[in-house]
Amino acid sequence: MNPFVSRITNHQTWVVPVSALSLVLGFMIVMVSASTAPTRLRSLDPDLRSRLATRDTPLDNQAVVPQKDAEISKLRTQLTTLQNALATETEKSNAAKVLNATLQDTKFYAGLTEVQGPGVLVTLTDGYSADKDDSKLNSQAGDAGAPPATEDVIHDQDILRVVNELYAAGAEAVSINNLRLVGTSSVRCVGPTVLIDGVRIASPIKIRAVGDTDTLMGGLRMPGGIIDELRSVSPRMVTIEPVKNMTLPGYAGPTTRHYVKLVKAEK
Amino acid sequence: MILLPILAMLVGALIAFFVVAGVPIHNAMLAIYLAVACLAGLDTVLGGIRSGMEGKFHTDVFVTGFISNILIAFFLAWLGDKIFINLYLAVALVLGARIFTNLSLIRRFLLTKWQDARERKRLQQDLAHAQVSPQIQVDTAQ
């Protein structure tokens, strides 16, 4: 007879139930700890987390996109030229001119044309790229006083808030890294970069806005605003400069429509 | 015999590790409830070991205690969340204190048993030593 078994059955009646339930307990503990494995970035939303995690991914198809965009811009400029030419060609009728003027106005409003004017240039830079200290990302401890790794990165929200502020201060045309913003534009983050209308951009992010320089500067410098907030993290993350004259490119993205049907005006 | 519950816990942990590891609990509060429930389970198991060593173990008391403690801890944590008081802290505090008490009692018991065993062994050796010479005499006499 196995002495082990006999010992249990004789006077150690507690061992078996306790063991059984401690098996359950071990199961529970691992279940809880494994499924809530702490990550220091848990408070971030998943999108930001993945962006930080895959910060070093190379930007693929970076070469193709600007090429195609340039082509589109060129074609659209050409279209404007041709429309103007057509209007001047048929100089006899005033109607063509008026129509063209309206057309060009609408095209400006849609952001399809290149525009010029005074305004501001806001440059947002990731804090880390300035001091070339990528190890700060990995070591949570870091040196005392330095902002946490997640804070000195330019997020899509920062860009959105700057753009929002610019529009609120009366900006008439805004571009981010030479990508013109239009009504359907989106700013979101994927991986280590920010997507503007599906085009990847990365720090430094240059936001140009055409409008009244003083009003725009005033809007941006509002206490408690986004610029204030970014500067409090690291002063070198933001620079604002007034620009006397600059050229913003036209929107180079797609304008095809698949679902919208135009409603005909009633007679 | 105290090794068996520890071994069982490791087995359970391994099973969980291979079966459910990586299934995320999306609700952060649910994770806290479950953690508190785990604490209650740990307290009950340690209490069971203690009472077993003291010879006061009853299977029915132990099993119902295990289940009800887990449920109560879970419920208190949940309730605290609902009424905006961090009751799970109170649960964790009480259970933590009880775990300490149970562990110290188990330690004392084991220590006493070990000392007793040593003492008994020494006494037996003394006794055997004392009995050696008469036994030899008896043997030679036959």
Contact between B98 and A52 (Cβ < 8 Å): no
Which of A12, A21, A39 is the best mutation test for B, with the most CBs of B within 10 A? A21
DSSP B85: S
Chain B positions touching A22 (Cβ under 8 A) are 5-6, 8-9, 12, 45
pLDDT for position A224: 81
Tokens of B96: 């933590």
- Residue identified by tokens 């004017």 is A117
B23 falls in which pLDDT band (50, 70, 90)? low
pLDDT number for residue B119? 92
Where residue A145 falls (left for φ over 0; alpha for ψ -120 to 50; beta otherwise) is: left
Output the tens digit of pLDDT for each of chain A's 267 residues.
455 544 444 457 788 888 888 888 888 888 777 665 544 444 555 555 565 555 444 455 566 767 777 788 888 888 888 888 887 777 667 777 788 888 888 888 888 888 999 999 999 888 754 444 444 444 444 444 444 456 677 888 888 989 999 999 999 999 998 888 998 888 888 766 788 887 788 778 899 999 999 999 988 888 888 888 888 877 788 889 999 999 998 888 878 888 888 888 776
**A185-215 burial, b if ≥16 CB within 10 A, otherwise e?**
bebebebbbbbbbebbbbbebbbbbbbbbee
Rounded to 5 degrees, what angle do the CA atoms A158, A163, A166 make?
130
Q: Read off the pLDDT band of B64 (50, 70, 90).
A: very high
Q: Is A27 close to B16, i.e. CB distance below 8 A?
A: yes
Q: Where are the beta strands (DSSP E) in chain B?
A: none
Q: Do A18 and B52 touch (CB under 8 A)?
A: yes
Assign A185 to helix, strand or coil.
coil
Residue contact B37–A7, C-beta within 8 A:
no
Separation between Cα atoms, residue A15 and residue B5, nearest integer Å? 7
CA A145 to chain centre: 27
The confidence score (pLDDT) of residue B97 equals 95
Please give the structure tokens belonging to residue B40: 């209650």
Question: Is the per-residue pLDDT at B53 higher than 50?
Answer: yes
Contact residues on chain B for A31, CB-CB shorter than 8 A:
16, 20, 23, 34
Chain length of chain A: 267
- Which residue is listed with tokens 């099973």? B15
Contact B16 A28 (CB under 8 A): yes
User: Residue A231: which region, alpha, beta or left (left: phi > 0; alpha: psi -120 to 50)?
Assistant: alpha
- Which residues of chain A lie closer than 8 angstroms to B52, CB-CB? 12-15, 18
Per the CB < 8 A criterion, the answer to whether B52 and B2 are in contact is no
pLDDT at A171 (0 to 100): 92
The residue with greater pLDDT, B1 or A59, is: B1
Q: Which residues, at least 6 apart from B31, have a Cβ–Cβ distance to it below 8 Å?
A: A32, A35, A36, B25
Q: Which pLDDT belongs to residue A150?
A: 62
B88, two tokens:
């799970």
Q: Do A26 and B8 touch (CB under 8 A)?
A: yes
* Assembly ipTM: 0.72
Whether the pLDDT of residue B26 is over 70: the answer is no
Report how far residue A137's alpha carbon sits from residue A139's, in angstroms, rounded to the nearest whole number.
Answer: 6
Secondary structure of residue B46 in the 3-state scheme: helix
With beta carbons under 8 A apart, name residues in chain A contacting B69: none
Residue B79 has pLDDT above 50, yes or no: yes
> Quick one: pLDDT at residue A58?
47
pLDDT tens across B81-125, in order? 888 888 888 999 999 999 999 999 999 999 998 999 999 999 999
Q: Is B132 exposed, middle or buried (0-12, 13-18, 19+ CB in 10 A)?
A: exposed
Residues in chain A with CB shorter than 8 Å from the CB of B59 are 13-14, 17
**Is pLDDT larger for residue A1 or for residue B26?**
B26
- For residue B129, the distance in angstroms to the closest alpha carbon of chain A comes to 28
Give the residue from chain B lying closest to A31, CA to CA.
Answer: B16
Query: Over A123-170, what HEC string results?
Result: EECCHHHHHCCCHHHHCCCCCCCCCCCCCCCCCHHHHHHHHHHHHHCC
Residue A103: the pLDDT is: 85
Q: Is the Cβ pair B24, A19 closer than 8 Å?
A: no
Residues of A near B (CB-CB distance < 8 A)?
Answer: 7-8, 12-15, 17-32, 34-36
- Tell me the pTM: 0.47
Which residue has tokens 């055997």? Answer: B128
Partner-chain contact B63 A14, CB within 8 Å: no
Report chain A residues whose CB lies below 8 A from the CB of B51: 14
Does the pLDDT of residue B141 top 90, yes or no? no
Chain A hits for B28, CB-CB cut-off 8 Å, are 36
CA dihedral for B87, B88, B93, B99, sign (positive or negative)? positive
